[in-house]
Chains A and B, each alone.
Chain A
Amino acid sequence: MSDLNCKRFILECLIEYEDGTMPADERALFEQHMELCPPCLRFLTSYRATGKTLKLLKPEEIPPDLAQSVLAFVRSRAGRKA
């Protein structure tokens, strides 16, 4: 980690920093780097915002009668009662 720079931070190590699998000593180096590197801190902030935004992509509602429509469809196609 002695050659830590923005490229290593962003391309190689960021995901492990975020998912918590990075060893503690490397995390400390990362955090030191971010304190001294505003572009990387901004990058991390927007990377996290990307994840939060994606969580909004699930459909807001499931059709209420979906299970029944699935059963009716399968029964009509399966040749015998499903």
Chain B
Amino acid sequence: MKPDGSAAQAEPTDLDLVRGIKSGDEDAFEQMVERYHARVYSLSYGVLRNAEDAEEATQDTFLTLYRKIGTFDESKKFFSWFYRVALNQAYSRARRRRPTTAAVPIEDYLPRFASDGHIASPELPDWSASIEDGAIARELAGRAGEFIADLPPAYRDVIWMYDVEEMSTADIAETLEISIPALKSRLHRARLYVRQRLAEISRAPAPEEVSR
């Protein structure tokens, strides 16, 4: 009971809302939109890097939810199913927006080692302290987003969900239908790739600096 004596209204679960939508309850659909629109937008933005495209992808995702909710298996976790719907919408739109380019060869950006196991990659400047400056950190983040967009989807999805969306490994593994070890392997390689690319742009002087 709440202090005023009225019964506390329990928050409906995702499954409650799913069943409501299936039965034509428009209030359930509105609550689902309210619950997930920001996360779907954030995910879409990550793939598309453009606010207008992200908004349209979000709309398409909820339209798909509305039309396809009957295909959702209620023994599964709703959010994992819905996240895949959102990812597919975002990638579909991305393919229409951008000409298909070959994914970056991630192996080219992994560290190299000597035969004795010691680091053999050329020493790059330590840029990590520079992110204490908010403006520099945001600029590097923007570049990191571009680098991630070049990754093969198997790596791009994992690093986005874990490092940007901060989803749990269990939720990511279920969403992508991969094992936790496979998830960690992809995440680690994707991070190594982004780290290397950020180090390289920190090394290269900006064109305006060269011309000064």
Contact = CB atoms under 8 A, between A and B. Distances in A.
A in complex with B? yes
B128 interface: yes
- SS class of chain A's interface: helix, strand, loop or mixed? helix
Interface size bucket, A side? 35 or more
Contacts of B29: 71, 74, 82
Interface in B127-164: 127-128, 131, 137-138, 140-142, 144-145, 148, 159-160, 163-164
Interface residues of B, number: 56
A71 B30 contact: yes
A56 B45 CA distance: 13
A59 B144 contact: no
A66 interface: yes
A16 B38 CA distance: 31
14 contacts: A5-B118, A6-B117, A6-B118, A15-B184, A15-B188, A19-B184, A45-B126, A45-B128, A46-B128, A46-B198, A67-B33, A70-B37, A81-B26, A82-B29
Interface of B: 26, 29-30, 33-34, 37-38, 41-42, 45-46, 51, 54-55, 58-59, 62-63, 66-67, 110-111, 113, 116-119, 123, 126-128, 131, 137-138, 140-142, 144-145, 148, 159-160, 163-166, 169, 184, 187-188, 191-192, 194-195, 198-199
